[in-house]
Structure 1
Amino acid sequence: MARAVPLFSGSNGNSYYIGTSSEGVLIDAGRSCKQIENAMEANGLKMQNVGAVFITHEHTDHCSALKVLAKKYGFKIFASEGTLRELARTEKILPSFDANVIENEVAVGNMLIERINTPHDAAESCCYRVTASDGKSALIATDMGVMLDGVRDAAKRSDFVVLESNHDIEMLKNGIYPFYLKQRILSPKGHLSNAACAVELADLVKCGTLRLMLGHLSEQNNTPELALATAISSLEKAGLKFRSDFTLDVAPSETRIQSVIF
């Protein structure tokens, strides 16, 4: 049975393991190699069972461990052409690495990984939907200024979804970030707010996606309690009951033993 394990999520780094105890993939590698190894071990997972690493985009909080992981374990790397080009330009990957462009979808072991484009201020960002051998699927969708139809459709076709709930708009507007950074985050190529995320969740539950997780929370402009409360309020206004009609968690910024069977 496949599970999704949020190893790290947030401003300081992002990485998820999707798969079974015997095979899986990493979605992003935004902490150190040692931290990812420790997080995997804490959740009873072996690095040797990782079939590939899928990178959503080239920002450091999504790929900082990539070079060391590829050198140490020889992992296959998948990303969009634009992301691979930028990773190579900044020497986050080397010519000797097994780096591959994913156009639409690719099989890794008994799993199928689908790429869906996202709007973010990166070379060619995307998110990934992973389908296990039993047909169940999980989508990790963060780092996007708006929710595109393609991402929304992939979410509705998934059994488990991590959806970005990056910031509270008022906290961001009144916070310490400089004006240009606030504008970047609020732009169509920035990040989804709590409110924007919450709007999407009710439709997902009504379409049968019953396992939900909020991801990529800002440390400066959000709190887990606020993100969760905003989401639950939106869902309850749609007539849906927390822990009865759906499950909802917050992906941890630091590793803890936590996984979702999907």
Structure 2
Amino acid sequence: MARFCVLASSSAGNCSYITCGSGTLLIDAGISCRRIAAALEQTGESVGELAGILLTHEHSDHLRGLRMLIRRTGAPVYATGPVLRYLEINSLVDPGSVLVEVDRPFEAAGMGISAFPTPHDSVGSVGYRFSLPGGQTVAVATDLGRVTPEVREGVRGSDLVLLEANYDPGMLETGRYPAFLKRRISGSDGHLANPNSAAFACELIESGTSRMILGHLSRENNRPALAEQTVCDALGRAGARRGIDYELSVAPYDQPGRLVRI
């Protein structure tokens, strides 16, 4: 049975893993290597079993622990070509590290994997779709300013989706962030607001998704209960019943969330 778990998810650091018994794949490494190792152990996994590290993009909250993690495990790094070049140019990986470009579907740790582009202000941001041996699919879609046709196609029909719900528009508008940062966050290449996440969640339910995890919540401009309620209200208006038609949880900011068996 495959397992998926969010180890940390916020604007300060992001890291998740997926495994189906043939090794563990990490999605992003935005917290320290020490914290990643401890969180994996807490959820029944081992850092020594890492079969790969998949990066969604090059921002620090997604690769803070990468260098030490590679040194400790020797695991290959999967990312878009621009992100891999960024890592090398900025000496964020040691010479000789195994770097694999995700320009086409590939296999790792017994899973089929494809990357899809996400609209974000980075050099090469993507989400990932995992096809499991039992036929189930899992998708990760965070750091996206809007839901594009490519995102819809990449996520559609997945059994489990980790979906960004970064900010509440009202909290962002009245918050302490400077105007330029507010524009960046709310822009078309920024982050997904709770109402937009809710609208997309309704689409996902219609396409066959039954489990969703809300992630990458801002500590400053969101609250877990607010994001959860916004999505649940939208799904309720669409006729979806929680606990019957779908399961929904919110990933904790800085500790492992619920282990999901798929």
Superposition deviation, residue 21 in structure 1: 4.9
The number of equivalent residue pairs is 262
Matches within 5 A, 1:98-117: 98-117=98-117
* Cα distance in 2 between the residues matched to 1:195 and 1:86: 33
* Cα distance in 2 between the residues matched to 1:226 and 1:110: 37
Other structure's SS at 1:86 match: helix
1:21·1:45 contact (CA, 8 Å) conserved in 2?
no
Superposition deviation, residue 193 in structure 1: 0.3
Gap regions ≥5 residues in structure 1? none
Superposition deviation, residue 157 in structure 1: 2.7
* Cα distance in 2 between the residues matched to 1:169 and 1:216: 15
* Cα distance in 1 between the residues matched to 2:57 and 2:87: 9
Cα distance, 1:101–1:156 mapped onto 2, change above 3 Å = same
1:43·1:257 contact (CA, 8 Å) conserved in 2?
no
Stretch of structure 1 that moved more, 163-172 or 14-23:
14-23
The equivalent residue for 1:261 is 261
* Cα distance in 2 between the residues matched to 1:48 and 1:105: 25
* Cα distance in 2 between the residues matched to 1:206 and 1:124: 29
Stretch of structure 1 that moved more, 248-257 or 229-238:
248-257
Deviations 1:112-169 (A, max 9, x none): 1111111101001111111222121111110010111121122223110011000000
The equivalent residue for 2:251 is 251
Gap regions ≥5 residues in structure 2? none
* Cα distance in 2 between the residues matched to 1:91 and 1:123: 16
Matches within 5 A, 1:6-85: 6-85=6-85
Other structure's SS at 1:151 match: helix
1:7·1:39 contact (CA, 8 Å) conserved in 2?
yes
* Cα distance in 1 between the residues matched to 2:237 and 2:104: 36
TM-score when normalising by structure 2: 0.97
Superposition deviation, residue 257 in structure 1: 5.5
* Cα distance in 2 between the residues matched to 1:220 and 1:257: 20
Provide runs of 4+ in structure 1 moved above 3 Å: none
Other structure's SS at 1:9 match: strand
2:66·2:93 contact (CA, 8 Å) conserved in 1?
yes
Stretch of structure 1 that moved more, 199-208 or 149-158:
149-158
Superposition deviation, residue 95 in structure 1: 2.5
* Cα distance in 2 between the residues matched to 1:24 and 1:168: 33
Q: Which amino acid aligns with 2:15?
A: S
Cα distance, 1:216–1:239 mapped onto 2, change above 3 Å = same
Between the two proteins, what is the percent identity of the paired residues? 37
TM-score when normalising by structure 1: 0.97
2:175·2:221 contact (CA, 8 Å) conserved in 1?
yes
Superposition deviation, residue 78 in structure 1: 0.6
Over the aligned positions, Cα root-mean-square deviation in angstroms equals 1.1
